[in-house]
Amino acid sequence: MLLAIDVGNTQIKSAVFEHNTLLQKEIISYSDWKNILKNILKNFPKIENIVVSSVGKLDKTDFLELKDGVNVFFVSREIVFPFKNKYETPNTLGIDRMVLSAGAVLQFPKQNRLIIDAGTCITYDFVDENDNYLGGAISPGIRLRYESLHNYTAKLPLLVKDNPEQSVGNSTTQSIHSGVINGISFEIDGFVNSILEKNDNFIIILTGGDSEFLAKRLKNTIFANSNFLLESLNQIFQYNQND
């Protein structure tokens, strides 16, 4: 058994895998993360390995004391990835984006892949059918857009995400919802269309905390999987064991 841990900017996600089967998933706050992970290890005593990727506040040393006898595999740029990194500044490419790209290569071989991660930020990553990572884009996510409208204006309220009732908002509240949610939907569809114009043999993967909320609003056919990063951690661990 394996425990996969994704340390994000605002929360920690974990999943227990037996081979490629996800047995349990949990979203954890930073306030009590260590005790919760220790309980997971207690409830699944057959866990032998922990794989961690982190873009947040924790590093490998934070996980070494969770349980004696458990191997901690920390994802870094020094491990083996199943793609060629063609990014002009490879050392600035986020580990989370690298993990997602690796998962796309391993799950969907010999295809062009666009991975869209709708979380705190929305990231776009393109890996071609020859397993070359070519880059992508980064833009603010849903929560950041709502917060920026509130924080950088004098009178606009801070709203919680909600589907707009119509494209033309008939109140300030509905105008904000339309601007944020429709704006993101149009952005994603526009980015996808620009890639599809130049490439065929394509799969589009949508993941992240807001993936299910956004999936039904998009015009393009996508593969939506909110657990894709955790599944990719499991796969990249196996890939490195077999390399």
Radius of gyration of the chain (CA): 19
243: in domain: no
Burial 91-115 (b: 16+ CB within 10 A, else e): eebebbbbbbbbbbbbbbeebbbbb
Strand partners, 223: 205
Range of the domain at 107: 84-233
Check residue 68 and give its pLDDT: 84
Check residue 243 and give its pLDDT: 67
Run of H or E including 113: strand 112-118
Which amino acid type is present at position 191? F
Q: What is the CATH number of the domain that holds 181?
A: 3.30.420.40
241: in domain: no
Check residue 199 and give its pLDDT: 85
The catalytic position among 6, 59, 68, 96 is: 96
Q: Where does a domain end: 74, 100, 122? A: 74
**Is the domain of 127 the same as that of 206?**
yes
**Is the domain of 204 the same as that of 120?**
yes
**Is the domain of 37 the same as that of 95?**
no
**Is the domain of 173 the same as that of 202?**
yes
Are 135 and 236 contacting, i.e. CB atoms less than 8 angstroms apart?
no
**Backbone φ, ψ for residue 37 (5° rounding):** -65, -35
Mean pLDDT by 10 residues, the chain (243 residues): 92 94 94 93 95 89 86 94 96 95 97 95 96 97 97 96 93 97 95 90 93 89 91 97 79
**Is the domain of 69 the same as that of 9?**
yes
Q: What's the rounded Cα separation, in Å, for the pair 103 and 230?
A: 9
Would you call 96 a catalytic residue per the annotation? yes
Chain Cα centroid distance, residue 64: 24
Query: What is the spatial order of strands in the sheet that 223-224 belongs to?
Result: 84-85, 132-140, 121-127, 112-118, 202-207, 223-224
Q: Where does a domain end: 43, 74, 105? A: 74
Q: How many domains does the chain have?
A: 2
Question: Which pTM was predicted?
Answer: 0.92
**Is the domain of 119 the same as that of 159?**
yes
